[in-house]
Structure 1
Amino acid sequence: MASLASFFCSLSMMIFLFAAPGRGTKNCFIDSIYSFGDSIADTGNLLRQGAVGMFAPIGRFPYGKTMNNATGRCSDGLLMIDYFALNLNLPLVDPYLLEGADFRSGVNFAVAGSTALDSSFFLQRSIVTPVANKPLSVQLQWFKTHLNSTCSSPTECSRKLEHALILMGEIGGNDYNNAFFQGTSIDSVKSFVPQVVDRIVSAAKEVIDAGAVQLVIPGNFPIGCMPSYLTMFYSSNPSDYDDNNCLKDYNSFAMYHNQQLQAATEKLRQSYPKVTLMYADYYQAFMYLLNNAAKLGFDKDSVHEACCGAGGTYNFDIKLMCGLPGTSTCSDPTKYISWDGIHLTQEAYKTMAQALIMQGFAFPNHNIHNQWKC
């Protein structure tokens, strides 16, 4: 199984860098990152657009507590995209909506709360999406607008993207979260998985057609292990839980999405044999984190609890999100996997990113390291 290390410059760069980031290695094949997605990858777009509702607190402490700066990231610190950039010796990727940003090393189009499908799809099904939703269609338009403003021709854009790593998410999680949290049944939500998957893969195709040759398409997390789901869909029936005390049905749903996405990614790969198209298994990377929590330095008794929340078994209340009056924050976020019940801590994201790069939670099954060496 090829790992995401295949994307990076050399074996010597596989150890994470914690110093202040600088310009990329001069001769490294990858010199920029372009990212799409939701709150798992958003480095500040929603904050600049106007964070409201459950996202309102992300622009102030305790968000950003560990990095001592509330940047709009939905965590106490850095995200996986940040660790990918650091591992490539690139600057952290600035959000598209940041005025005066230096986009020479890439652009982040991800917006917290975003869906893969357009809001109209959910409106037809009486499922409410955030007013600030910037679905993949909007993020793709931002991407094209950016290219048009920085390239003089499609050929120049294509050459520019040849040296870029494209992260297609994580995206699609909110398509399901919005539906589940509003009472839609698993069977009903399952019915629109094909549309979500098709939108992700068709977006990847558009980026490839623009000239991209190195893409990562991430799968969904095991949502049945998240404090938000464990709280909102609590069951008194022990058979509803697996050996990790996660909700079986919701994890099965996540696996169904991932299976469909992997199959669609493989078809896309066959259509573009010269493009390196990797599926990043966020599900198994998270399970690696959960199953090895104590060895990795996390508090084994708090693996299903949010660091920041309003109490209860899992320290989560959808009506009283982290940062609002009445909530409190754990003293040491590095011991927790979950930050606010929905998003992970910096330490958990770091561990997951490291696992994705080093532990082989990526496909396809061939070694392509020589294509990416410096």
Structure 2
Amino acid sequence: MLVILALALLPLLSRALDMGQVRQLAVRYNVTAILVFGDSSVDPGNNNILQTTMKGNFAPYGRDFFNGRPTGRFCNGRLATDFIAEAIGFTKQVPAFLDPNLKPTDLLHGVSFASAASGYDDLTANLSNVLPVSKQLEYFMHYMIHLRKLVGEKKANDIIRRAVFVISMGTNDFLQNYYLELVRPKQFTVQQYQDFLVSSMSRDIELMHGVGAKRLVVVGVPPIGCMPLVRTMMGQTTCVESYNKVVVSFNSKVQKRLETIKAALRMKIAFVDVYGVLQKAVSHPMLYDIKETAKGCCGTGVIEYGETCKGLSTCTDPTKYVFWDAVHPTEKMYKIIADEAVKSLSQELAS
């Protein structure tokens, strides 16, 4: 049944269906919620209340969000998970679980537990004093308690069983941890560290499955060698291929492990090739009506992100850019990634 819904979402994303039709399908086929775990690619503002410098709750972040409001999203507008939720018909934005203004009814269609600067490796999160996956899962357990109080245990369990779980992280494990800090390189070769991260991911998925997760979307790591910040740090004007090769290898290992998990746990798991999406945009920008692929829209575009982007001027038209700051994609690219996520999910559900 969900196959029909997922396939119906595809023409919606190209404006062939209106929102009303898709929302009717979402109700008819019992799509319940979207539950998100990860890093800044899917954090809508959980870090706002943490004692960390990894925040984006100030201008120019949110420039193109509703009412031009900075929410903590490291983007000029919405994230891929926001677009997925809107397509399914729940809400135009996935709220942060730690948002003090979160309403009980917001819990019904899902929330994000993600924390910018987090990763599969708990050490990655600890370096920036943000939420490791273990803590995100702990908050998920709190979410389940609140949900049961709101709708009862039977309905709460049904919501979880029919929800789509999303995991999006891994970038910080390499950029902010392995390639900058001394601990992990002394313990692991880069290949061994990839295996360590894949094992950590497996553990997280098994824990999610243990509390009712049946449907999962895993977002791969993007081409970090193409990020403006990385190009600047490495003194290159083109993508740093050595970094990209590591990401390609890691994503391949993730996909192989997901196939094993699918068979063992009988879960529906879709992999989103965000590497391919961004690499295509960087290599063939004209396909997306993009003009700038090497610089972000904020400040000089080559080094600023997070606090160093605070209060800076921005480009005139972010839709012509792949990157919003020196690390994170623009809202336009997140929309394209959301399209890919829906396609991947529909293919998995049809299998």
* TM-score range relative to shorter protein: 0.7 to 0.9
- The Cα of 1:8 is off from its aligned counterpart by 5.7
Q: Distance in 1 between matches of 2:98 and 2:276?
A: 32
The CA distance in 2 between the partners of 1:93 and 1:318, in whole Å, is 22
The residue correspondences of 1:4-19 to structure 2 (distance < 5 A) are 7=6, 13-15=12-14
CA shift digits 1:327-349 (9 cap, x unpaired): 43111111111111111111111
- CA distance in 2 between counterparts of 1:89 and 1:353 reads 14
Percentage identity across paired residues of the two chains: 24
1:35–1:107 contact (8 Å) kept in structure 2 = yes
Q: Quick one: structure 1 residues 342 and 179, their matched pair in 2 at CA, closer, same or farther if it must change by over 3 Å?
A: same
2:110 corresponds in structure 1 to 106
The residue that corresponds to 1:303 in the other structure is: 293
Q: Are the equivalent residues in 2 in contact too, given 1:13–1:88 (CA < 8 A)?
A: no
Q: Does 1:208 align with 2:209?
A: yes
User: Aligned to 1:211, what secondary structure does the other structure show?
Assistant: coil
One-letter identity of the residue aligned with 1:27: R
- Asked if structure 1 preserves the Cα contact closer than 8 Å seen for 2:118 and 2:169, the reply is yes
Q: CA deviation at 1:259?
A: 1.1
Match of 1:59, SS? coil
Does the aligned pair in 2 maintain the 1:76–1:339 contact within 8 Å?
Answer: yes
Residue number in structure 1 paired with 2:147: 150
For 1:238, the equivalent position in structure 2 comes to none
1:277 aligns with 2:269: yes
CA distance in 1, matches of 2:6, 2:202: 20
What's the offset of the Cα at 1:204? 1.3
Q: TM-score, structure 2 length as denominator?
A: 0.85
Give the structure 1 partner of residue 35 of structure 2.
Answer: 34
Q: 1:90 Cα deviation (Å)?
A: 1.3
Structure 1 match to 2:324: 339
For residues 320 and 104 of structure 1, do their structure 2 counterparts lie closer, same or farther at Cα, with a shift above 3 Å needed?
closer
Aligned-pair distance for 1:7?
A: 3.8
For the residue of structure 1 that corresponds to 2:296, the secondary structure is coil
Separation of aligned partners in 1, 2:165 and 2:307:
35
Aligned equivalents of 2:305, 2:88: Cα separation in 1? 37
5+ unaligned residues in a row in structure 2: which ranges?
Answer: none
| Aligned-pair CA distance for 1:35 | 0.3
Higher relative contact order (CA 8 A, sep 6+): 1
Query: Matched residues in 1 for 2:348 and 2:189: separation?
Result: 39
TM-superposition CA deviations, 1:169-226 (whole Å, max 9, x none): x112111111255266798444311121111122112112212211111110011111
Structure 2 contact 268–348 (Cα < 8 Å) conserved: no
Shift of 1:290: 2.4
Q: Matches of residues 1-374 of structure 1 in structure 2 within 5 Å?
A: 7=6, 13-15=12-14, 25-50=26-51, 52-53=52-53, 55-56=54-55, 58-67=56-65, 68-91=68-91, 92-99=93-100, 100-101=102-103, 102-119=106-123, 129-131=127-129, 133-151=130-148, 157-168=156-167, 170-180=168-178, 182=180, 188-235=189-236, 245-273=238-266, 275-299=267-291, 302-309=292-299, 311=300, 315-317=302-304, 321-323=308-310, 327-358=312-343, 362=344, 368-369=349-350
| Partners of 1:265 and 1:336 in 2: CA distance | 32
Contact kept, 8 Å, 1:9 with 1:88, in 2: the verdict is no
| Cα separation, 2, equivalents of 1:278 and 1:80 | 15
Cα gap change, 1:87 to 1:5, in 2 (>3 Å): farther
Alpha-carbon separation, structure 2, partners of 1:154 and 1:210: 13
Write the distance in 2 (CA, Å) between the matches of 1:198 and 1:219: 15
**Aligned partner of residue 36 in structure 1, secondary structure:** strand
Q: Does the CA contact (< 8 Å) of 2:229 and 2:302 recur in 1?
A: no
- Scaled by the length of structure 1, the TM-score of the pair is 0.80
1:86 positional shift: 1.2
SS at match of 1:200: helix
The 2-side partners of 1:231 and 1:180 are apart by 18
Q: Is the 8 A contact 1:5 1:14 kept in 2?
A: no
Q: Tell me the SS of whatever aligns to 1:107.
A: coil
Change (3 A) 1:6 1:173: farther
Distance in 2, matches of 1:317 and 1:212, equals 37
- CA offset at residue 149 of structure 1? 2.8
Name the SS for the 2:285 alignment partner. Answer: coil
3-state SS of paired residue (1:147) = helix
**Letter of the aligned partner of 1:202 in structure 2?**
R
Q: Deviations over 1:240-292 (max 9, x none)?
A: x9xxx31111000001110111111111011023x211111111122232233
For residues 66-86 of structure 1, give each alpha carbon's deviation from its aligned partner in whole angstroms, at most 9, with x where no partner exists.
121101100100110011111
Unmatched 5+ residue regions in structure 1? 236-240
Give the direction of change, closer, same or farther, for the CA distance of 1:9–1:202 in structure 2 (3 Å limit): farther
